[in-house]
């Protein structure tokens, strides 16, 4: 097993992680960035390292390359055996990574909500479908319905259209008044406004409906039809694929394993982006869903603060407040309506890994009880899909995280057992 020693370790190579690395590197300390992908930029800038098309992504990736920061790609953190140590997996074998200061920039993932037919082949998240297309999945000529919630719907529809997909319609569950109000706030964010105008222009002629959501998907070997509703009437649209996601949910599993306190589902941080655990900072989507611009500023603050450059961090507080205001309006505009929380029927599968229905899960008192008695959340995704759905549909919170944080090979688990007094990480919270 390889062992690495760094003063600053950053988990995540998305916008927040890249910015934190650039800021921290200026201190002269030994800095490393860990990411489970083989590229820089996270999911939001996927493909930009090889084929730059976004000027902002190109700028930060080029800046990162000049820092001298060590990049440990294809490296997934699976456990926190004790303070100052991460156990990680790599294709070449387990890695032990020792740190003095830790910055979490673990990003977010798509939120999927169960509804009849959501497990059919061809039904996938907008971001997931976009990633597949970028990696060569043939979508030219395919009829795609886009549905769910959030600005990602328009961006994905635009990307799929560029690859030849026939976008049937784009359906946003948030009502007109909320989305229109959010549009007015973009006047204070000209770059976002111009980006939105450009996307809408390219999608001209494609129906973009507000206050509309999917209620069922049907098909044989794959999805063929989607039933949509505006709350007053239902209609069906034929398709070859359904890109459906209801926003983003933060990746807080590592933060929980470290003992960091959450607030309203996000990692609680102070003005320096410091968590409730000594020497652990957090930035980007785990502290609030705000997009790349917000993540970049938080990453810089975290990187400067973690390396003692507090005056440089403080200089960014005003700009960060600007993007936090944007984040708050974003959350308000695309808040989930009650109807989409109640799409699943009793026989709808909630846990896709273990084929557990909603009716079976409803019998239990909470997430822990459901896991113990139904195996809900015990499959390969480790509850990342059904756990987030259970929170929205049933109001259940994830009570704790035990290693492995991600599915791991037996070799890594043996190393973990050898490096700790037991399988569970000890709490690291401040007292």
Summarize the chain as % helix, strand, coil (round to 5): 35, 25, 40
The dotted CATH code for 123-246 is: 3.50.50.60
Do the domains at 2-109+249-332 and 123-246 have one common CATH topology? yes
User: What digits encode the pLDDT tens for the residues 176-205?
Assistant: 999 999 988 888 888 888 988 999 999 999
Distance CA 352, CA 35 (A): 26
User: What digits encode the pLDDT tens for the residues 22-58?
Assistant: 999 989 999 999 999 999 998 888 878 877 778 899 9
Distance CA 365, CA 396 (A): 9
Residue 135 CB: number of other CB atoms within 10 A? 9
8-state DSSP, 265? T
Residue 29 CB: number of other CB atoms within 10 A? 15
Task: Tell me the pTM.
Answer: 0.92
User: What is the residue-wise DSSP string for 243-263?
Assistant: EEEE-EEE--HHHHHHTPPEE
Q: What are phi and psi of 403, to 5 degrees?
A: -70, 150
Instruction: Calculate the alpha carbon distances from 67 to 23, 232, 283, 430 in Å.
Output: 9, 56, 20, 32
Q: Which residue has the tokens 């909603």?
A: 358
* pLDDT at residue 378, as a whole number: 85
| Residue (of 72, 69, 55, 59) closest to 12 by Cα position | 72
User: What digits encode the pLDDT tens for the residues 307-338?
Assistant: 999 999 999 999 999 999 999 999 999 999 99
User: What is the residue-wise DSSP string for 88-149?
Assistant: EE-TT--EEEE-SEEEE---EEE-----TTTTSTTEE-HHHHHHHHHTT---TT-EEEEEEE
Name the CATH superfamily for 2-109+249-332: FAD/NAD(P)-binding domain (3.50.50.60)
**CA dihedral angle for residue 187, residue 192, residue 194, residue 196, rounded to 10 degrees:** -110
Would you list the domain boundaries of the chain? 2-109+249-332, 123-246, 340-394
8-state DSSP, 211? S
Ranges 163-172, 223-232, 409-418: which has the least confidence: 409-418
């Amino acid at each position: 097993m390889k062992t690495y020693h760094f003063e600053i370790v950053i988990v995540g190579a998305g916008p927040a992680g890249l910015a934190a690395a650039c800021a921290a590197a200026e201190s002269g300390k030994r800095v490393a960035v860990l990411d489970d992908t083989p590229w820089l930029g996270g999911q939001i800038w996927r493909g930009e390292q090889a084929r730059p098309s976004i000027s902002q992504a190109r700028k930060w990736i080029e800046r990162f390359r000049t820092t001298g920061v060590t990049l440990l790609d294809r490296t997934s953190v699976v456990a926190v055996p004790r303070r100052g140590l991460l156990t990680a997996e790599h294709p070449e074998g387990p890695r032990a990574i020792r740190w003095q200061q830790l910055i979490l920039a673990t990003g977010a993932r798509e939120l999927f909500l169960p509804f009849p037919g959501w497990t059919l082949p061809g039904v996938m998240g907008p971001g997931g479908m976009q990633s597949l297309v970028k990696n060569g999945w043939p979508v030219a000529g395919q009829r795609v319905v886009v549905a769910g919630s959030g600005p990602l719907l328009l961006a994905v529809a635009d990307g799929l259209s560029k690859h030849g997909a026939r976008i049937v319609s784009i359906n946003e569950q948030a009502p007109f008044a909320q989305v229109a109000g959010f549009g007015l706030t973009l006047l204070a964010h000209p770059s976002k406004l111009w980006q939105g105008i450009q996307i809408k222009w390219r999608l001209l002629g494609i129906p973009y409906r507000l206050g509309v959501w999917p209620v069922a998907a049907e098909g044989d070997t794959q999805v063929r039809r989607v039933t949509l509703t505006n709350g007053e009437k239902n209609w069906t649209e034929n398709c070859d694929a359904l890109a459906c996601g209801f926003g983003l949910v933060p990746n807080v599993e590592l933060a929980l394993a470290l003992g960091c306190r959450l607030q309203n589902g996000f990692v609680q941080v102070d003005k320096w982006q410091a968590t409730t655990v000594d020497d652990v900072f957090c930035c980007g989507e785990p502290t609030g869903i705000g997009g790349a611009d917000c993540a970049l500023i938080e990453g810089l603050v975290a990187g400067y603060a973690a390396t003692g450059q507090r005056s440089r961090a403080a200089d960014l507080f005003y700009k960060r407040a600007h993007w936090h205001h944007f984040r708050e309006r974003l959350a308000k505009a695309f808040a989930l309506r009650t109807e989409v929380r109640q799409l699943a029927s009793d026989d709808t599968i909630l846990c896709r890994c273990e084929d557990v229905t909603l009716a079976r899960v409803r019998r239990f008192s909470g997430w822990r009880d459901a896991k113990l008695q139904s195996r809900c959340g015990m499959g390969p995704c480790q509850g990342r899909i059904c756990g987030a759905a259970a929170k929205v549909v049933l109001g259940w919170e994830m009570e704790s995280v035990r290693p492995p944080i991600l599915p791991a090979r037996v070799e890594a688990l043996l190393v973990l057992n050898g490096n700790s007094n037991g399988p569970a990480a000890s709490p690291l919270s401040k007292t």
